[in-house]
Amino acid sequence: MAIKTLARKLCKVLYFIILIFCVGHTLPPPESYINYDIVRKFALLISNNESAESMYDAYSYLDWFTMLVIVTPVYILTMKLLRKLRSK
């Protein structure tokens, strides 16, 4: 019984990683959909610097956050759907 639950949890984690991978590859580069002023303010907030490296880090962090915002509802809805289908 413990192996089944471990396998299900592992499958859920793999499914979440695959979703992030798919969304990450379908999104354009973050420079095209994230506003420069927002990134500049975020870079100043996290590193108190406006260098190219801190701007790149800010773009990366905001891109990851965007992917998580997209993937999390999809993941939750599919898990609820699977639970409902399994209970029938």
pTM: 0.84
**pLDDT, position 75:** 97
Q: Which residues have CB under 8 Å from 61's CB, separation 6+?
A: 42, 46
**pLDDT, position 15:** 97
Q: Over 80: is that where the pLDDT of 37 sits?
A: yes
> What residues does each domain of the chain span?
33-70
The whole-angstrom separation of Cα 53 and Cα 43 is 9
Q: Which residue has the tokens 């907030």?
A: 45
The 10s digit of each residue's pLDDT in 3-29 is: 999 999 999 999 999 999 999 999 999
Question: What's the CA angle centered on 30, arms 15 and 47, to 5 degrees?
Answer: 100
Q: Over 90: is that where the pLDDT of 88 sits?
A: no
Q: Over 80: is that where the pLDDT of 38 sits?
A: yes
> H helices then E strands: how many in the chain?
4, 0
